[in-house]
Amino acid sequence: MQYETVFILTPVLSDVQMKEAVEKFSKVLTDNGCTVVNTEEWGMRKLAYPIQKKSTGFYTLIEFEGAPTSVKKLETAFRRDERVIRFLTFRQDKYAAEYAAKRRSLRAAKAEAPQTTEVKED
């Protein structure tokens, strides 16, 4: 089954600590037989309302395929880690999976497209 999880890390982390936390949760998934399809780091964003007296957080999205039991183990890891202030995991239906695949291919096409800047000569 295909799943998608978004989690918010506390904003007091350095970039190295943030990447280490993302790798830790990806490893939890792979250790439980899941395949990580996509990982997107959305960066520091403002929260809609304060959580634990914090108004910003590092957002990360992980798309993966695996068994439902692995979701419970991932969410247990989220709950045990004090760096995570919120998380949400849900199963993708076929339409959400198609949309996610389309979004990934568009992001890849944008990343591969050469950045051109036109210089106007008078």
Q: What is the pLDDT of residues 67-76, one digit of tens each?
A: 989 999 999 9
Percent with pLDDT over 70 in the chain: 92
Does a structural domain hold residue 121?
no
Domain count of the chain?
1
According to the 3-state scheme, what is the secondary structure of 25-54? Answer: HHHHHHHCCCEEEEEEEEEEEEEEEEECCE
Does a structural domain hold residue 27?
yes
Q: How confident is the model at residue 93 (pLDDT cuts 50, 70, 90)?
A: confident
What pTM was estimated for this model as a whole?
Answer: 0.80
Q: What is the pLDDT of residues 4-16, one digit of tens each?
A: 999 999 999 888 9
Domain that holds residue 42: 2-112
Q: How far apart are CA 49 and CA 52, in angstroms?
A: 10
Output the pLDDT for position 115.
62
Average pLDDT over every residue of 93-103: 83
Q: What CATH code is carried by the domain that includes residue 42?
A: 3.30.70.60
